[in-house]
């Protein structure tokens, strides 16, 4: 097997957190059966919403396109099982913004009849990268680490830059989540194959597969698979277990010691990061011709009777998934889609599992912190901030609503990892406050843009009125001038014309 390497760049701050991953990693990934109903949000990605291409009452096959992307940034959505479209309506979803989104609701027939995709006639390696990218787009592949950025567009953007490394993110640094860990244990060959496809699409030949040190089994099995594959473009890297080293920019910094510029992308420093789950999904689509219609997700937390990892069809409701695992325990009080630090708290389990759902976390209230006290400027937050911000100063300026200072102290660089919250002895909800302050800054920028547009309109109007007045004055002057020059014959002519006009009226 290939041994993982350790040479690493510097990452400021971060936290060593208890993993809470043991409970969900005892057994293999279980397959959730076909639910009676699938709820497919048409927007499961960052970017423009997709448009439904099926009608109510239409029968669809597993893998059939139900919504296709419109606009520059988007990804298609496919039916995750066969059945009949019964509704296209707003449904509660677990997106970051907004509570409800348009969904295609499919009543499953239980037969799971697949749409036959034409087998890839030729080897992907013989395809030109552009064709391969177009094919990746068709598969509905988005970043499965949670950000759900359409993969094809990410690769296209990266093609315009000089890329040195593909980095496969198997860090999974957030506590409780273990879906990537299990995937790396069970399907290391698929992940590596996906990496090869990605390297071909990018036309590069260096790929780091990065795994945190708390996953010895995944590291070991990836190492074995790497040795079998015998492709020396792929290198396995082990990184220490520090949250949030799995953040995209943090991982680039850790692995290559390059800082992603503020407001920039990893591609600005020659890197492209993809989650290991995305790599496996690319393998499934390009090699096995299965679009992205299911994913592995971790079902865990105090509020879950039997924590485990499951593979569920996209569109299965959280309620169905939890029921399959054995239901809630009596300690189920908060439902969080995603991890305990960056996830989103939702109010109902009727929301569907989507491409972004890497974890279903159900927790108990008492595990939360106490009352908010005054900031004592202890600076612990600054010492753990991976961006080296000064949260205590940002908090101060956020309270004062001082936009200039907030920008100057890098509020917009905050990745909302939550480290500062965790160490704050005064229990100040810093991340939530920063999120609000960011929203406020965006609002102010919008307001400013609106005011600017209004000013432009006003100035344009004034200018127009001025021009019209000038034109009128010039016309009058011209008439006056011509009247002065006019002889008696012309005056008689004009008077006659006037008289004619008044008689006509």
Partner 1 sequence: MEFARRESPYWSARVAVPSLMLQVLAALAPAALAHVWFFGPGFIFNLLVASLFAVAGEAMMVHLRKRPLEVALTDYSALVTAALLAFALPSLTPWWVTATGALFAVVVAKHLYGGLGFNIFNPAMAGYVVILVAFPMHLNLWIAPRIGDIDYQYLTVLQTLKFTLTGSLPEALGFDAVSRATPLDVMKTGLSNARTVSEIRANPIMGDFGGRGWEWIGNFLAIGGFWLLIKKIIRWHIPAAVGAGLLIPATIMYLVEPGTNPSPGFHMFGGAAILCAFFIATDPVSAATSPKGRLIFGFGVGLLIYCIRTWGSYADGVAFAVIIMNVAVPAIDYVTRPHIVGHPRRGDSS
Q: Which of 146, 170, 194, 418 binds partner 1 (CB under 8 A)?
A: 418
Cβ distance to partner 1 smaller for residue 138 or 421: 421
* Residue 11 C-beta: closest distance to partner 1, Å: 9
Other C-beta atoms within 10 Å of 175: how many? 19
The one-character DSSP state at 270 is T
Residues whose CB is less than 8 angstroms from the CB of residue 162 and which lie 6 or more positions away in sequence, other chains included = 270
Please report whether residue 257 would count as binding partner 1 according to CB under 8 A: no
Cβ distance to partner 1 smaller for residue 71 or 326: 326
Q: Which of 19, 139, 343, 352 binds partner 1 (CB under 8 A)?
A: 343
Residues whose CB is less than 8 angstroms from the CB of residue 348 and which lie 6 or more positions away in sequence, other chains included = 92, 335
And the tokens for 110? 């239980």
Q: Which of 180, 248, 320, 421 binds partner 1 (CB under 8 A)?
A: 421
Question: Which of 290, 195, 291, 194 lies closest to 235 in space, CA to CA?
Answer: 195
Please report whether residue 146 would count as binding partner 1 according to CB under 8 A: no
The one-character DSSP state at 301 is S
Q: Which of 75, 356, 422, 437 binds partner 1 (CB under 8 A)?
A: 422
Please report whether residue 397 would count as binding partner 1 according to CB under 8 A: no
Q: Which of 427, 442, 464, 469 binds partner 1 (CB under 8 A)?
A: 427
> CA-CA distance, 221 to 214, in Å (whole number)?
14
Question: Which of 211, 222, 208 lies closest to 270 in space, CA to CA?
Answer: 208
Cβ distance to partner 1 smaller for residue 16 or 457: 16
Give the angle 52-55-57 at the CA atoms, nearest 5°.
Answer: 140
Which 171-190 positions form the footprint of partner 1 (CB under 8 A)?
175
> CA-CA distance, 338 to 346, in Å (whole number)?
10
> CA-CA distance, 381 to 409, in Å (whole number)?
14
DSSP string, 4-40: PB---------B------TGGGSSPPEEPPPPSEEEE
- Listed ranges 285-293, 382-390, 453-461, 464-472: which one lies at the site for partner 1 (CB under 8 A): 382-390
> CA-CA distance, 154 to 265, in Å (whole number)?
10
* Residue 68 C-beta: closest distance to partner 1, Å: 33
> CA-CA distance, 391 to 383, in Å (whole number)?
10
Residue reference for tokens 């990266």: 158
And the tokens for 147? 């950000």
Q: Which of 133, 349, 357, 360 binds partner 1 (CB under 8 A)?
A: 349
> CA-CA distance, 104 to 90, in Å (whole number)?
9
* Residue 118 C-beta: closest distance to partner 1, Å: 43
- Listed ranges 153-161, 271-279, 372-380, 473-481: which one lies at the site for partner 1 (CB under 8 A): 372-380
DSSP string, 363-412: E-GGGS-----------HHHHH-TT---HHHHHHHHHHT-HHHHHHTTGG
Cα of first residue to Cα of last residue in the chain, in angstroms, is: 103
Please report whether residue 390 would count as binding partner 1 according to CB under 8 A: yes
Q: Which of 235, 259, 306, 311 binds partner 1 (CB under 8 A)?
A: 259
Q: Which of 336, 360, 384, 437 binds partner 1 (CB under 8 A)?
A: 336
DSSP string, 428-466: --HHHHHHHHHHHHHHHHHHHHHHHHHHHHHHHHHHHHH
Question: Which of 111, 132, 77 lies closest to 291 in space, CA to CA?
Answer: 77
Cβ distance to partner 1 smaller for residue 182 or 423: 423
Cβ distance to partner 1 smaller for residue 196 or 392: 392
- Listed ranges 37-45, 71-79, 226-234, 343-351: which one lies at the site for partner 1 (CB under 8 A): 343-351
Please report whether residue 266 would count as binding partner 1 according to CB under 8 A: no
* Residue 226 C-beta: closest distance to partner 1, Å: 31
Residue reference for tokens 């009058």: 476
> CA-CA distance, 170 to 220, in Å (whole number)?
13
Binding mask 202-241 for partner 1 (x = CB under 8 A): ----------------------------------------
Q: Which of 88, 260, 271, 312 binds partner 1 (CB under 8 A)?
A: 260
Binding mask 281-320 for partner 1 (x = CB under 8 A): --------------------------------------x-
Cβ distance to partner 1 smaller for residue 365 or 497: 365
Residue reference for tokens 């096959």: 61
And the tokens for 345? 């708290």
DSSP string, 475-492: HHHHHHHHHHH--HHHHH
Q: Which of 108, 273, 286, 363 binds partner 1 (CB under 8 A)?
A: 363
Q: Which of 56, 72, 378, 465 binds partner 1 (CB under 8 A)?
A: 378
Binding mask 235-254 for partner 1 (x = CB under 8 A): --------------x---x-
Q: Which of 72, 227, 376, 474 binds partner 1 (CB under 8 A)?
A: 376
Number of residues that bind partner 1 (CB under 8 A): 69
* Residue 10 C-beta: closest distance to partner 1, Å: 10
Please report whether residue 264 would count as binding partner 1 according to CB under 8 A: yes
Where on the chain is the footprint of partner 1 (CB under 8 A)?
12, 17, 175, 249, 253, 259-264, 319, 328, 332-336, 340-349, 361, 363, 365, 367-371, 373-380, 382-383, 386-390, 392-393, 409-410, 413, 416, 418, 421-427, 429, 431-432, 435
């Amino acid at each position: 097997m290939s041994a993982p390497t350790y040479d690493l760049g510097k990452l400021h701050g971060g936290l060593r957190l208890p993993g809470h991953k043991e409970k969900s990693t005892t057994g293999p990934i279980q397959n959730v059966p076909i639910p009676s109903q699938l709820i497919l949000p048409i927007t499961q990605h960052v970017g423009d919403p997709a448009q439904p291409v099926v009608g109510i009452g239409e029968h669809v096959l597993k893998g059939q396109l139900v919504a296709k992307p419109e606009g520059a940034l988007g990804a298609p959505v496919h039916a995750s099982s066969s059945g009949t479209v019964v509704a296209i309506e707003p449904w509660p979803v677990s997106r970051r913004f907004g509570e409800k989104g348009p969904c295609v609701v499919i009543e499953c027939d239980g037969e799971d009849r697949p749409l036959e995709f034409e087998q890839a006639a030729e080897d992907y390696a013989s395809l030109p990268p552009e064709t391969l990218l177009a094919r990746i787009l068709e598969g509905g592949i988005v970043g499965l680490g949670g950000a759900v950025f359409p993969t094809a567009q990410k690769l296209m953007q990266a093609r315009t830059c000089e890329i040195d490394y593909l980095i496969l993110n198997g860090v999974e640094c957030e506590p409780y989540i273990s879906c990537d860990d299990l995937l790396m244990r069970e399907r290391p060959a698929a992940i590596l194959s996906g990496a090869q496809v990605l390297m071909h699409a990018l036309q590069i030949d260096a790929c780091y597969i990065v795994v945190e040190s708390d996953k010895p089994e995944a590291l070991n099995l990836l190492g074995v698979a790497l040795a079998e594959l015998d492709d020396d473009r792929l290198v396995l890297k082990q990184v220490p277990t520090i949250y949030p080293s799995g953040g995209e920019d943090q991982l680039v910094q850790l692995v290559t010691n390059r800082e992603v510029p503020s407001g920039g992308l990893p591609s600005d420093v020659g890197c492209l990061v993809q989650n290991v789950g995305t790599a496996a999904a690319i393998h499934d689509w390009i090699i096995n011709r299965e679009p992205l219609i299911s994913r592995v997700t971790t079902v865990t937390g105090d509020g879950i009777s039997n924590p485990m990892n499951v593979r569920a069809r996209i569109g299965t409701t959280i309620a169905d998934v939890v029921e399959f695992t054995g239901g809630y325990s009596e300690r189920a009080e908060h439902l969080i889609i995603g991890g305990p630090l960056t996830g989103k708290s939702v109010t109902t389990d009727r929301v569907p599992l989507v491409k972004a759902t890497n974890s279903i976390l159900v927790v108990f209230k008492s595990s939360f912190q106490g009352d908010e006290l005054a900031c004592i400027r202890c600076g612990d937050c600054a010492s753990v901030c991976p961006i080296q911000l000064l949260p205590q100063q940002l908090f101060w300026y956020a309270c004062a609503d001082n936009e200039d200072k907030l920008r100057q102290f890098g509020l917009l660089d905050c990745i909302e990892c939550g480290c500062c919250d965790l160490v704050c002895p005064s229990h100040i909800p810093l991340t939530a406050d920063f999120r609000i302050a960011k929203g406020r800054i965006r609002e102010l920028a919008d307001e400013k843009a609106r005011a600017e547009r209004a000013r432009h309109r006003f100035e344009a109007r004034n200018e127009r009125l001025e021009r019209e007045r000038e034109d009128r004055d010039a016309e009058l002057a011209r008439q006056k001038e011509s009247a002065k020059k006019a002889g008696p014959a012309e005056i008689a002519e004009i008077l006659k014309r006037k008289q004619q006009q008044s008689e006509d009226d």
